[in-house]
Chain A
Amino acid sequence: MSLTRKLSLTVALLTLFLALVAAVWSYLGSNHELEEVFDAELAQSARIVQGLVHHLSHDQPLGQLKDALEDSLQLPPGVDDPDDDDEALPNQLGHKYEKKIAFQIWAKDSTPLLSSPALTEQSDRPSPGYAWAESGGYQWRTFTLRDPETGLWILSGQREDIRSELSGELAMSNVLPLLIVLPVLLVLVVLAIRWTFRPLRQLERPIRNMAPERIHHLDEKQAPPEVHGLVSAVNGLLRRLDQALERERQFSADAAHELRTPLAALRLNLEEASEKSPGQFADLLASVDRMNHLVEQMLLLSRIDAGAPGEPQLDSISDIVAQAVADVAPVALRDNVELILDDRVDSDRVLCHSALIATLVRSLTANAIQYSPAGSEVTLQLTEKGADTCLRICDSGPGIAPEARERALQRFVRLDQRQGSGAGLGLAIANRIAELHGGRLVLEDRDDGRPGLCVRVMLPLTRL
């Protein structure tokens, strides 16, 4: 899992969890405080009733007391109107929740004197303090006190569902902003993390664009401090890689000298000997030339393996191809193979490594000539196909079976049906050069169905 994703997920989950804990905490906390407020209110109501009853009880009989209480506790009109959403009643008459508050009064001997309609009478003897009771299918919170002078028991009660509805709504209004802000917070956290990781992605680009021939060090100053160590380690690796490649290039140059000089001596000795007895050393000379050719090809491969030399130059692809074909054409004329170049390019100015492209054309053309029987044709067609500059070379040789074509592009692979004197490096060299230009080689059948092989080289060269 990527660091960005891991970090985003972790932070998001943690934020979510903590926010939920905070929400629950806030909900419970405000709920509890409201309960306390309600309880206090309940006690206060009981005391107000107590004051009322205390005053009445001295000179009024119980019947009158009951009426007086019922009058003063009479609910205002409109309380029962279920269609009215407004909780405060019109004309400042009161509040809807009033009916959910009830009273009961007992005489000294526990005889019930009076009771709000909502609260059914309780049979058991009242006890002072807070309690829970059930009546009319509702849960009630009650507070009971005894008036020490009259000996009356006074109970005030509130319906629990109203209490919890109120406290729930209030607590929810505390929690709600948090819940709304949370998703926004999560999105911002993810964006912030992505933004923070941008320097890492910027480090990636120069590495992606690097090639063996284009190694340059990463800018350590640009890297965030957390990856300084990593970047300087990568730079160390790049330095060692560059040195290793340089050693390899140096080895190629040294090997060239060390191999070519004794080959030169060998060849001259044979030449001298064959001048004295002509014909006798022709095979040996041919072997030395083959060996020389192989050495040249291996040195060339090792050079281009290290990458293309320098930057591509502006050149005429038509001239490069014509000159390269001209270089190997004498062999075709000697072997009586008809060599035909068909140049259909309109804009021939391209950016390329001209020496390498020439090597590619020479290599493929020489291959085609080598495998073509005397009297047959080798055709080269140079065209533009979309963004590609396309060279197609067709011979009349034995061809390569479709299943063997992939393998034929590998090094030192010579297929049985293609008899020749090469070391099987020609196609590999051409393939590597095409790769260095961002292109590729395709081996295919001839269009006319006759035996033979066509090599199509697709090069996405910049045209100017």
Chain B
Amino acid sequence: MRILLVEDDHHLARTMLGMLREHHDTVDWIDDGQKAANAIADEHFDLVLLDLTLPRKDGLDVLKDVRKRGVPTPIIILTARGDMDEKLTGLDAGADDYMTKPFVMAELKARIRAVTRRAEGKADSSLVVGHLKLNPEHGQLFLADSAVTLPRAEFQILHYLMRHPDQVATRRRLEDQLYGWDHGAESNALEVHIHHLRRRIGKTLIRTVRGVGYMLDSNEARNADAVS
């Protein structure tokens, strides 16, 4: 995979180059907005990591410029500007994802994988958390050695939780997944589905925060893997 890093801070850029190249990717580096815009348009990259504050041409302008020229290359914005507005502006201008400095390399790599997979047309979109593996195309859940086709509601819930492991999903979020925006106010259907899911994958994997929501615990998922 060929990655272009556009970053004007040399110290940070060199560190990132070292860490990204460990994984056998080809990584090129440009520290100037104008040059970056030309390079992205003229050459083929699988992914661009774009800083926003750049000499000669602002990162957002680079983004708008290459999108106007019809370049489809996936672009992840890396920025020190942490405002919500900036983030939305960036995504509106055609960025595929957005990360705020400082970031954890593991997370950046995960985002790179997600963005490139999306760009390649989801060759294998299976989600894996610990011993859980979910195939969204067929709604199939693979446990250690067995496979079941989940009912639609349980699939929707687990799909969301597996896409956001170790994050608490509010009840509202999960209900939106299940019913869209116009669901009824009071319903304990969510509890019922969670109850069924827990019976399938193990009680401790889905944790409850009372009055708030549920979280898929990736640690528990791995531990359960070791047990089974």
Contacts and interface: CB of A to CB of B under 8 A. Distances in A.
A299 B83 CA distance: 11
A265 to B, nearest CB: 4
Interface in B175-225: 207, 209-213, 215, 217
B81 interface: yes
Given A268-B15, A272-B15, A340-B210, A292 B168 contact: no
A343 B211 CA distance: 7
A123 interface: no
A265 B212 contact: no
Nearest to B209: A329
Contacts of A341: 209-212
A153 to B, nearest CB: 117
A296 B82 CA distance: 9
Given A261-B12, A322-B213, A327-B168, A253 B81 contact: yes
Query: Which secondary structure characterizes the binding site on chain B?
Result: mixed
Contact of B104 (A261, A271, A323, A380): A271
Interface in A246-278: 253, 256-269, 271-272
B118 to A, nearest CB: 25
Query: Which secondary structure characterizes the binding site on chain A?
Result: helix
Contact of A339 (B9, B16, B18, B210): B210
Given A257-B80, A329-B209, A265 B170 contact: no
Given A330-B167, A341-B211, A260 B102 contact: yes
Interface string A409-438: 000000000000000000000000000000
B171 to A, nearest CB: 7
A264 B102 contact: yes
Nearest to B19: A272
A286 interface: no
B71 interface: no
B210 A269 contact: no
A325 interface: yes
Nearest to A322: B170
Contacts of A262: 9, 11-12
Given A322-B170, A327-B168, A333 B209 contact: yes
Nearest to A310: B85
Given A260-B80, A325-B209, A326-B213, 13 more contacts: A256-B82, A257-B80, A261-B80, A262-B9, A265-B9, A267-B104, A268-B102, A271-B104, A292-B102, A319-B172, A326-B212, A329-B215, A338-B210
27 contacts: A256-B82, A257-B80, A257-B81, A261-B12, A261-B80, A264-B12, A264-B102, A265-B11, A267-B103, A268-B12, A268-B15, A271-B105, A271-B106, A296-B82, A319-B170, A322-B170, A322-B211, A326-B169, A326-B170, A329-B212, A330-B166, A330-B215, A333-B209, A341-B210, A343-B211, A355-B84, A380-B211
